[in-house]
């Protein structure tokens, strides 16, 4: 009699396994009997009630984006300070411990994976071409100093401030949104690719930026190290050169450059802020050799197109 009952249960279990329905669950007693009969049956997992389920960072960011984007793209959300802050605040309503950088990087990751639910229905104005040289200088400075991408700059509040400070050193009171917008435009045109030599070598560079007026007042701000220097103003890069001794070489330029075009430029330059970016290398760096420095200099000239250099 017992074996007959178990045999019937085995048939019932087979049918349940073949015609399983998500909403159907076997009683525990029947499942145990099925096990005795030699049929293992998996019971559906209990689903947490939506009201009590803890959101993941992905679902929290996606929901926050839908709530705050107002029809703009994910890029525009990150470019604009108020939209950026609104997104972060909305994420923290769901996951209070989330930091701004994590929320922004998750938004970028969802965008790249095509998992953002909202559709873009509004477009911001195009970036101002006049701002692009300043944006390139500022973006490259931050990218070089911290070895980061443009996406990481947009996501990280600290790097956003660094970008703005670098831009204002070139053009005071420049709009932060305009700088970020121009930087993204340059990225999309692939104009901010790292120089080839920096992709294959770690030369322990130390990058610094000084106003010309600072260097005239205190030449010791520049190290007496081998390196490369870049004159720049709000219109872009002006002149790039290399030197065995950066301090001595820049002192020569500022007291009367032997490069005629640069000397003429420095004499008439009174309106725009002029700065010098130095890439200094330790004495044990490959860049202590003149052939290596010149290769590095040539790559910078190629990618940054200073207007007073003769193209190599």
- What is the Cα Rg of the chain in Å? 31
- In a domain, residue 146? The reply is yes
Q: How many domains does the chain have?
A: 4
pTM over 0.75: no
Same domain, 135 and 99: no
Cβ neighbours of residue 131 closer than 8 Å, sequence gap 6 or more: 174, 175, 178, 179, 181, 182
199: exposed, middle or buried (Cβ count in 10 Å: 0-12, 13-18, 19+): exposed
Question: What is the DSSP annotation of 10-41?
Answer: HHHHHHHHHT--TT----HHHHHHHHHTT---
- In a domain, residue 46? The reply is no
Same domain, 213 and 177: no
95: exposed, middle or buried (Cβ count in 10 Å: 0-12, 13-18, 19+): middle
Which tokens go with 308?
């007073």
CATH number of the domain enclosing 295: 3.40.1440.10
- In a domain, residue 311? The reply is no
Same domain, 224 and 280: yes
- In a domain, residue 147? The reply is yes
User: Residue 195's pLDDT is what?
Assistant: 74
Same domain, 214 and 295: yes
Spatial distance between the Cα atoms of 10 and 60, rounded to a whole number of angstroms: 45
Same domain, 273 and 298: yes
Q: Order of strands, edge to edge, in the sheet holding 275-280?
A: 206-211, 275-280, 227-233, 236-243
- In a domain, residue 78? The reply is no
Whether the CB-CB separation of 164 and 139 falls below 8 Å is answered with no
Same domain, 224 and 287: yes
Same domain, 267 and 181: no
Spatial distance between the Cα atoms of 87 and 104, rounded to a whole number of angstroms: 8
- In a domain, residue 48? The reply is no
Whether the CB-CB separation of 139 and 150 falls below 8 Å is answered with yes
**Last-in-domain residue among 141, 162, 188:** 188
Percent of the chain, pLDDT > 90? 57
- In a domain, residue 282? The reply is yes
Least confident of 22-26, 226-230, 238-242, 304-308: 22-26
308: exposed, middle or buried (Cβ count in 10 Å: 0-12, 13-18, 19+): middle
Residues 129-188: tens digit of each pLDDT = 889 999 999 999 999 888 899 999 999 999 999 999 999 989 999 999 999 999 999 999
- In a domain, residue 153? The reply is yes
* DSSP β-bridge partners for residue 207: 279
Evaluate the CA torsion angle 207, 156, 102, 75 in order and state its sign.
Answer: negative
305 confidence band (pLDDT: 50, 70, 90): very high
Same domain, 159 and 245: no
Same domain, 142 and 183: yes
Same domain, 229 and 262: yes
Range of the domain at 8: 2-36
Least confident of 44-48, 158-162, 208-212: 44-48
Same domain, 209 and 300: yes
Same domain, 215 and 287: yes
């Amino acid at each position: 009699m017992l074996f007959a009952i178990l045999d019937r249960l085995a048939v019932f279990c087979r049918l349940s396994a073949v015609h399983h329905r998500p909403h159907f669950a076997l009683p525990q007693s029947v499942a145990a009997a099925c096990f005795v009969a030699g049929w293992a049956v998996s019971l559906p997992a209990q689903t947490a009630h939506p009201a009590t389920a803890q959101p993941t960072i992905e679902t929290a960011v996606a929901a926050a984006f839908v709530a705050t984007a107002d029809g703009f793209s994910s890029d525009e959300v990150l470019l604009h300070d108020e939209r950026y802050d609104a997104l972060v605040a909305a994420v923290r309503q769901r996951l209070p411990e989330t930091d701004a950088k994590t929320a922004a990087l998750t938004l970028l990751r969802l965008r790249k994976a095509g998992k953002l639910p909202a559709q873009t229905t509004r477009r911001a104005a195009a970036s101002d071409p006049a701002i692009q040289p300043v944006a390139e200088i500022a973006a490259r400075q931050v990218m070089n100093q911290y070895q980061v991408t443009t996406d990481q700059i947009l996501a990280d509040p600290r790097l956003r401030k660094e970008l703005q400070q670098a831009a204002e050193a070139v053009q005071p009171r420049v709009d932060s949104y305009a700088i970020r917008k121009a930087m993204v435009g340059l990225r999309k045109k692939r104009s901010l690719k790292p120089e080839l030599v920096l992709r294959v070598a770690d030369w322990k560079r130390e990058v610094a930026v000084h106003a010309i007026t600072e260097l005239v007042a205190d030449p010791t701000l520049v190290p007496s190290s081998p390196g490369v220097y870049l004159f720049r103003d709000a219109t872009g890069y002006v002149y790039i050169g290399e030197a065995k001794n950066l301090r001595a070489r820049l002192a020569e330029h500022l007291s009367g450059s032997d490069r005629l075009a640069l000397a003429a430029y420095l004499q008439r330059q009174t309106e725009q802020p002029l700065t010098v970016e130095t890439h200094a290398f330790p004495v044990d760096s490959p860049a202590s050799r003149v052939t290596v420095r010149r290769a590095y200099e040539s790559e910078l000239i190629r990618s940054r197109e200073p207007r007073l250099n003769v193209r190599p």
